[in-house]
Structure 1
Amino acid sequence: MTNASRHNLFIDGIWTVPSSSEWITVQNPATGETVAHVARGNAQDVDRAVDAAQRAFPAWSRKTAVERADYLLNLNRLIERDKEHLAAVVTSEMGKPLKEARVEIEFAVGLIRFAAENTRRLQGEIVPGSTADEKILIDRVPHGVVAGIAAWNFPFALCARKIAPAIAAGNTIVIKPRELTPLAGLELGRLVAEAGIPKGVVNIVTGAGPDVGVPLVAHPQTKLITMTGSTPAGKKIMAAAAEHLKEVRLELGGKAPFIVMEDADVEKAASAAVEARFMNAGQVCTSNERTYVHEAVYDAFLAKVSTKIAALKVGDPTAPDTDIGPKVSLAERDKVHAMVERAVAQGAKLETGGHALAGGDYDKGFYYAPTLLTDVRQDMDIAHDEVFGPVLSVIKVTDFDQALTYANDCRYGLSAYLFTRDLGRIMRMTRELEFGEVYVNRGGGEAPQGYHHGYGESGLGGEDGQHGLEAYVQTKTIYLNA
């Protein structure tokens, strides 16, 4: 063990030593240095956390909507107070540039604010009864104990995205951050305690998926599973939840098409394409994964994109002018490189990048050069498999019909982009493009009041907005007679 700090589990409002007495090392992907050691939780710790959440549920669910909202607003004030520290924690464990980490913290604040402001909008219904003296009430009530599993690419915001609506709706929650990036979630636990949120309402158990995630999902007292992560992991969670017929909400992988038609603002489209691909080193489920460009503007678009990629600065994520930090781990970097090599072997042209960065400070971290691939064909693996890295693949199309066909030729259905001035095409897109979230003539980035959801292997259900909040309640029908 090094002198790096140790972090216990957050259970029942108390920082608790893990039952295993074992620890997981958290590494800074930019430097390779050990940032901290976090508790290696196990099934026994999950039992303790779920029991605490179950005990806290009756009192918490009986609090008024305004009372629950006030707790969340208190939490937000603390996040805003500590936002620079929180952003630095995200950068240290995940590697994203500090300027992007600040945006993540602000996004989390927006998510929590929306949940707080809308606790009183979880409304029921009254419908006519079967007799003159009967009313049928359809109430909305919390599920109970929610199990949350967060991904590593937005370690603070994704924990907030699950905690805020869950407890706003009157549930309690046990959340598992990804073991690569657990520190931001634990920092959120620290602020939960300081905000005075009652013990047991929020519990955070760190550890590996088999040790914590599996028993959490399978626990008979967890009633709703909400998970953000990979599609293979989501399928395993859905199978594990089937034994108790739990409700499952899954936000999984993506393969966003980015369509640029001949009437598009090419400069605007090129800027958005680069931002949507290289933000967070491409480690975003809504990233521009495949760029379809009309042949009439293909050369102009490619020239602009090439210039913008060349201007990107890769390096120390704490530097204010850094655009791209490292990949989150060596395994993730190697996975991206293997996909690029496969694409080139299948006939893609490597315009720039296509290699790990080496020399100087690059040797300490998991850096990958911003990469541009052209001559990509629809039948290549890279047009169908999620890259999740700083690799822009460009495919030429002849018309809008071909662009739609190629875009829908995908097992994922999370996000998509369309750049055109033609209202007819936009209207066709609303009918024919098979994705849950579409950005028209703008870059990516969902809003707290929107609804972030996908089709196909991108998951079930969704997050954010009123629709996302309502996922954290269930209906109860009451046939009311005097």
Structure 2
Amino acid sequence: MKRFDIQSGAVFGAKMYIGGRWTSGASNEVVEVENPANEQVIATTPLGTEEDAVHAVDAAKMAQIAWAKVPAVQRGRIVRKLGELIAERNEELARLITSEQGKPLDQARGEAGATAEFLFHAADNARRIEGDILVSDNPNEEIHIRRHPYGVVVGLTAWNYPAALATRKLGPALVAGNGFVLLAHEITPLSGLYIASLAEQVGLPAGLFNVITGRGPVVGQALVQHPDTAMITMTGSNRAGREIFKAGAEGMKVLRLELGGKAPFIVLEDANIDKAVEAAMVARYTNCGQICTCNERMYLHKDIADEFLEKFVAKSAALKIGDPMKGPDMGPKVSGPEVDKVASIVNAAIAEGAEVLLEGGPLNEGDYAKGHWIAPTVLEVKNNASVVVQNEVFGPVVPAIRVDDFDHALAMANDTRFGLSAYVFTENHRRIMQTPYALKFGEIYVNRANGEQVHAFHNGWAQSGLGGEDGQYGFDGYLRKQSLYLNWE
């Protein structure tokens, strides 16, 4: 019997992957996985326990000892094979992503492609594990700075990109010589399990890569606090990041946390308005606004605000919302509670005085009677302290604020506890060069929409996280340094 049947709407029982075996775990309980477009249960996964978490870390620890002795280039070849297999199965993985997460199929195909690309780039880094030799103050001595894997790395992923976020962490961790335990998010666990089913076929040693399912407060806590977990890499909410930070403090765990953002989208009076509008659409509505680098608040120069908003509102109102398998512009939100959260933020903003330029909100009639649907909402806000300006919405809602000039926009943009990403649209070279000095964000897009690249570096400042992912800088974070004082006198 096939473990994974990637037919839309098919129901199957999935198991966890621990120590090279598929297992139902220590509990007889399961978690239902639903299709957010129609609320049909498409799978059940085990409700993992603390005991399962211990088994997964123990398995990774045992496998990692031998894996670390394998030459890095050989580790990279195996990781590349996994990427190649994922690339071959792009359509299968994309349909699975859409079924459990809800993003339109064309966007899911893009995520499946990125899932493979993260592994390809990680494999390329196998020859880039470098150290240094320093001159010593002592005679007949050299100082060698060496790099070693941490041991066991735990990956905690979010539900918005369940496949790509998994390999974004898995690839560099394995190439660096670590063992890996993935806690697949309970809402979207199937993509991670599918990747594990492919990993079985490429020669990864049993126990090196483990996928556990269950709820973060139980399984995640146990994984983080396990004495043999050396490093935790997590993508999720600010709230969850703080909990991981506290849970890992006693054991002095190494943490890499990407905790969401509240990206300002600045459009100045000299910007190409049509280009800025198109970028604002992409940066707000892709994946139903469920991206940490999304356009979350727009600061529009007063001289162009009317023109920009007229075009942006018209395009937002024209978006096609529907079955993500049939090519809409926007699919459903991932869950009912997520729809409720977004609606509550909009209602609070309106109560504070926000003007509704486009009234969207939850959809629950006709074609939308089943599923978690929400239409775009555009607000004009005067107060930068508004709940919709200061809190991450993570949905198709965007507030707009008029600003007097560049300095005014910068001050408003920096007035946040987040620091992940930002956007600036201007044709003025002086302003472009000022931007990276003035904006307090780890990732800035100038005259373009969002979309980081695998060889760059993705990191947040302030309460958007610690550490970062991607590229050489991200890969280096999966290795720790050792100083060797080599004296031959």
Bin for the TM-score computed over the shorter chain? over 0.9
Q: What displacement does 1:3 show?
A: 8.5
Give the partner amino acid of 2:289. Answer: G
Which residue pairs with 2:378 in the alignment?
372
Match of 1:217 in 2: 224
Equivalent position of 2:334 in the other structure? 328
SS at match of 2:361: coil
Which of 186, 201, 207 in structure 1 is aligned with 2:214?
207
**Partner of 1:347 in structure 2?**
353
Deviations 1:115-142 (A, max 9, x none): 1001111200000123231110000100
Instruction: Tell me whether 1:291 sits opposite 2:306 in the alignment.
Output: no
C-alpha deviation, 1:355, in angstroms:
2.0
Aligned-pair distance for 1:103?
0.8
Q: Distance in 1 between matches of 2:401 and 2:100?
A: 35
- How far the C-alpha of 1:16 sits from its partner, in A, is 1.2
Residue 31 of structure 1 contacts residue 361 of structure 1 at CA under 8 Å; is this kept in 2? Answer: no
Secondary structure at the aligned position of 1:302 is classed as: helix
What is the distance in 1 between the residues matched to 2:326 and 2:436?
41
- CA separation in 2, counterparts of 1:369 and 1:212? 35
Aligned-partner Cα distance in 1 for 2:458–2:340: 29
How far apart are the structure 2 equivalents of 1:389 and 1:112?
29
Matched, 1:464 2:470: yes
CA contact 2:10–2:42 (8 Å) conserved in 1: no
Take 1:310 and 1:210, find their aligned partners in 2: how far apart are those partners?
39
Is the contact between residue 260 and residue 418 of structure 1 (CA under 8 Å) also seen in structure 2?
yes
Q: Partner of 2:20 in structure 1?
A: 13
* Cα distance in 1, alignment partners of residues 116 and 136 from structure 2: 43
Q: CA deviation at 1:424?
A: 1.2
Aligned residue in 1 for 2:431: 425
1:144 to 151, 157, 169: 151
Task: Tell me the amino acid that sits aligned with residue 115 of structure 1.
Answer: A
Paired AA for residue 450 in structure 2: G
2:453 aligns with one of 434, 447, 450: 447
**How many residue pairs get matched?**
480
> Does residue 1:61 correspond to 2:76, yes or no?
no
**CA distance in 2: counterparts of 1:379 and 1:72, whole angstroms:** 46
Which residue pairs with 1:108 in the alignment?
Answer: 115
Q: Which moved more, 1:291-300 or 1:130-139?
A: 130-139
- Distance in structure 1 (CA, Å) of the matches to 2:202 and 2:20: 11
Task: Give 1:258's aligned amino acid.
Answer: F
Q: Residue type matched to 2:466 in 1?
A: L
Which one-letter code corresponds to 1:41 in the other structure?
G
How much has 1:251 moved relative to structure 2? 0.3
The Cα offsets for residues 145-200 of structure 1, whole Å up to 9 and x where unpaired, read as 00110000000001111111100100001110110000001001111111111111
Q: For 1:356 and 1:245, locate their aligned partners in 2 and report how far apart those are by CA, in whole Å.
A: 43
Report the counterpart of residue 33 of structure 2 in structure 1.
26
Distance in 1 separating the partners of 2:323 and 2:66: 47
Q: Is residue 376–residue 393 contact of structure 1 (8 Å, CA) maintained in 2?
A: no
* Cα deviation 1:65-124 (Å, max 9, x = unaligned): 110110011101110111101000000011111111111111122211111001111200
Alignment of 1:64-213 (within 5 A): 64-213=71-220
Counterpart residue type for residue 386 of structure 2: M
Q: Distance in 2 between matches of 1:141 and 1:424?
A: 43
3-state SS of paired residue (2:402): strand
After superposition, the C-alpha distances for 1:343-392 in whole angstroms (9 at most, x for unaligned) are 11111111223321122231110000111112443121111000000012
Query: Among the aligned pairs, what percent are the same residue?
Result: 47
1:390 aligns with 2:393: no
How far does the alpha carbon of each residue in 1:42-65 deviate from its partner, in whole angstroms, 9 at most, with x for none?
110011111110110111001111
Mean alpha-carbon deviation: is it higher for 470-479 or for 194-203? 194-203
- Measure the CA separation in 2 of the matches of 1:361 and 1:297: 37
Which residue of 1 is the match for residue 262 of structure 2?
255
Separation in structure 1 between the aligned mates of residue 10 and residue 289 of structure 2, nearest angstrom: 33
Residue number in structure 2 paired with 1:45:
52
Taking structure 2 as the reference length, what is the TM-score of the superposition? Answer: 0.97
- In 2, Cα distance between equivalents of 1:383 and 1:311: 24
Give the residue type in structure 1 aligned to 2:458: H
Q: Which of residues 231, 242, 246 in structure 2 aligns to 1:239?
A: 246
Q: 8 Å contact 1:174–1:202 — kept in the other structure?
A: yes
Contact 1:166 1:172 in 2 (8 A): yes
Residue type of the partner of 1:140? R
Are 2:33 and 2:45, in contact at CA under 8 Å, matched by a contact in 1? yes
Q: Work out the CA distance in 2 between the residues paired with 1:361 and 1:450.
A: 41
Q: Do structure 1's residue 266 and structure 2's residue 270 form an aligned pair?
A: no
State the Cα deviation string for residues 207-232 of structure 1 (Å, max 9, x = none). Answer: 00122100000000000010000001
Q: Which amino acid aligns with 1:211?
A: V
Q: TM-score, normalised by structure 1?
A: 0.98
**What is the aligned counterpart of 1:409 among 410, 415, 421?**
415
1:305 maps onto 2:346 in alignment = no
Q: Root-mean-square deviation (CA), in Å?
A: 1.1
Runs (5+) with no aligned partner, structure 1: none
**Compared with structure 1, are the counterparts of its residues 363 and 419 closer, same or farther at alpha carbon in structure 2 (3 Å cutoff)?**
same
Kindly indicate whether the alpha-carbon contact (under 8 Å) linking 1:231 and 1:457 is maintained by their aligned counterparts in 2: yes
